[in-house]
């Protein structure tokens, strides 16, 4: 069990099990804790996890939360970065610190307005950051975005 994770990766209502599995592997490989905020669009039972080939899943430092409010009450994040296509501030301007929470929305819907409002109000608008991309691109794959963010944070901490 991680006492002090490098980062806390937070997935808000993830929808694609393969992305979540890939992100779990990234969390395990980098000393991060993974937070899954329900509802999830897939089953996390041991049988389902085994069937999907995630033999490492029980090694992942995982915390599940019933909803956004439950996450906030349980974790009380004092430094949280929201990765969103609705920001023009690039992630390389962020100054990551050990223990930061890196928040990512669902593959199809991102995060709801109430989460954007909470981040802006509680953390400041500078905590809403993006992975820059060409205007024609709708978004990046969630697992790719998480991996990019975590490794940029690790680069900064080194």
Burial of 31 (0-12, 13-18, 19+ CB in 10 A): middle
**What structural domains does the chain harbor?**
8-157 (3.40.1280.10)
Going residue by residue through the chain, which has 158 residues, state the pLDDT in tens, using 9 for 90 and above.
667 999 999 999 999 888 898 899 999 999 999 999 999 888 776 665 665 556 788 899 999 999 999 999 999 999 999 999 999 999 999 999 999 999 999 999 999 999 999 999 999 999 999 999 998 988 899 999 999 999 999 999 99
- DSSP-based three-state secondary structure for 80: strand
* Predicted model pTM: 0.94
């Amino acid at each position: 069990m991680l006492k002090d994770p490098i980062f806390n990766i937070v997935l808000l209502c993830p929808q694609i099990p393969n992305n979540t599995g890939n992100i779990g592997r990234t969390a395990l490989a980098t000393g991060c804790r993974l937070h899954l905020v329900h509802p999830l669009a897939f089953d996390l039972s041991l049988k389902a996890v085994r069937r999907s080939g995630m033999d490492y899943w029980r090694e992942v430092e995982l915390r599940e939360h019933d909803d956004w409010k439950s996450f906030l009450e349980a974790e009380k994040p004092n430094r949280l970065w929201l990765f969103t296509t609705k920001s023009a501030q690039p992630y390389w301007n962020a100054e990551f610190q050990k223990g930061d929470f890196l928040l990512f929305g669902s593959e199809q819907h991102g995060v709801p307005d109430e989460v954007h409002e909470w981040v802006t109000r509680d953390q400041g608008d500078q905590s809403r950051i993006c992975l820059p991309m060409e205007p024609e691109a709708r978004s990046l794959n969630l697992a790719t975005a998480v991996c990019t963010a975590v490794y940029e944070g690790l680069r900064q901490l080194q």
